[in-house]
Structure 1
């Protein structure tokens, strides 16, 4: 039997950070991990980060939600991992737009029911976003709450951004909202695989049927191709001026004076630039609501 852990959580909560940490811990235990990643856009960004982990088999689902249009693809990719590699643990990271119970349901396939031992849903909850959840649109807030409600283990992440009083309040509210899920407080999603493994072994009941559908959520993704290098300061000003309905941006941004594009990530008002040492296509995936007409406008020559 191959153990399966499903990593859930809203956009930008820290799922990929958790995934990378767990891969390292699993390998330190002498086990062989594999990864199935669900990307919302048409290009892969997070999986490039995971790809830095050598010898870890990786399958991807692009341009669709694992729990909606991607069920058949999910089966095919899992089948591929099982047939092509010798693995002990499969980590499935869903897109931030996935309802966790539906995603879990997509994993239960008669094709390999006797080969997978689904351990449960580990949901990464953004501590600061929980405090400000009332600023979300009703549909998105409902998804955010459902992801937390159906977790078997809650990773309360980004606790370093809260005061002690705020952290105590958030922890208490989450414990009342999901009475069955143990909570671990983290920064940068640092939690050991051994803890997750032992905690989920104590839990007996897993949901097996989807409760609500994520198909009609107003979330969408858009690919922006950057045709020339940007001025870093101007680009960050553009990002800061975006509406709150832009939840996540991930991509490779060419910057004036740099030989290679930077890996750029944005989540919940915070930006992160990481240098790249190989040539990457300059494109940016934006995830949010009402982003159809969103474009980056270069400054005029006078502004330059």
Structure 2
């Protein structure tokens, strides 16, 4: 299993600085990191910074978003990293400052490599000065800024050198009140020991390999299911309808009776979507939700539980 860390934060908060510091520390430890960067524009300015001397495998998403419609590109780039490099120890993913962290996290949960990646969590870099001046942002931008902080598993209150002692105390108190479950560390230049990040995110998992503690304190986990035989769309959709409301997301490849290749299946917000596949994909799906480990999957014949 390869550990995956997702770096989130608003534009200009210091994510790339955090990325560069982390790469340097990992290399000092003798580990081999790989990087997936999401560029907001069409030119790879930030990724050029990382590539210049970092000597790490790098993939980038240009002129798009790692979340939402860009999830397929994200899967392709991650698949490329894994296929082209068989000695990766850690994958660091830096999202664009315009990305919602939960949607970005969802894009990483792919049935193509769900059994190879260990998602450790979201590290959000918060610009402390921008936090104090957040009321000056437009409502839409402010909402995104707040969401990035709300869903962090670890928060860096960055750029505290630009504030007075009283302002630093105010930022720290307000951030801890806004996201009660995420530890907060005050930083300058987004410098933080990777060992602290690693230990903090590992301790939050409470012994469950794939558990993630969201910013709202709700345990989200993923479950990988494989198929031993084909199913009909009707039977499969009836099974989906029988699942509890705590199942938020499903995606993967389902073998349908009468078809050579499995169908791509997606589920979100109570809606299902089927798309034909023209290549042979491994028949398995990833389920994301709360309390899903208690579901009796084995009561449904076509599935075998590989959690």
Q: In structure 1, what is the Cα distance between the partners aligned to 2:200 and 2:52?
A: 28
> Matches of 1:93 and 1:55 in 2, distance apart?
17
Where does 1:1-304 land on structure 2 (aligned, <5 Å)? Answer: 1-85=1-85, 86-204=87-205, 205-206=211-212, 207=214
Task: State the Cα deviation string for residues 186-212 of structure 1 (Å, max 9, x = none).
Answer: 0000001111000100112425558x9
If asked which structure has higher relative contact order (CA below 8 Å, sep 6+), I would say 1
User: Matched residues in 1 for 2:152 and 2:10: separation?
Assistant: 12
CA contact (8 A) 2:23 2:54 kept: no
CA distance in 2, matches of 1:53, 1:148: 31
| Maintained 8 Å contact 2:7/2:124 | yes
Separation in 1 of the partners of 2:26 and 2:53? 12
- C-alpha deviation, 1:68, in angstroms: 1.9
Change in 2 beyond 3 A, CA 1:170/1:54 = closer
State the secondary structure of the residue aligned to 2:59.
strand
> 2-side partners of 1:54 and 1:134: how far apart?
38
Unaligned runs of 5+ in 1: 214-304
CA contact (8 A) 2:124 2:154 kept: yes
Question: Aligned to 1:70, what secondary structure does the other structure show?
Answer: helix
Distance 2:91 2:161 in 1: 29
Going by fraction, where is helix more abundant, 1 or 2? 2
Report deviation, 1:137.
Answer: 0.7
Q: TM-score, normalised to structure 2's length?
A: 0.67
Instruction: Measure, in 1, the Cα distance between the counterparts of 2:74 and 2:22.
Output: 21
SS of 1:37's partner is strand
> Is the partner of 1:64 in helix, strand or coil?
coil
| SS, match of residue 60 in structure 1 | strand
Q: What per-residue deviation string (whole Å, max 9, x for no partner) do you get for residues 257-279 of structure 1? A: xxxxxxxxxxxxxxxxxxxxxxx
Structure 2's unaligned 5+ residue stretches are: 206-210, 215-219, 221-247, 250-267, 270-307
Q: TM-score, normalised by structure 1?
A: 0.68
- Distance in 2 between the 1:200 and 1:132 partners? 29
Which is worse superposed, 8-17 or 65-74? 65-74
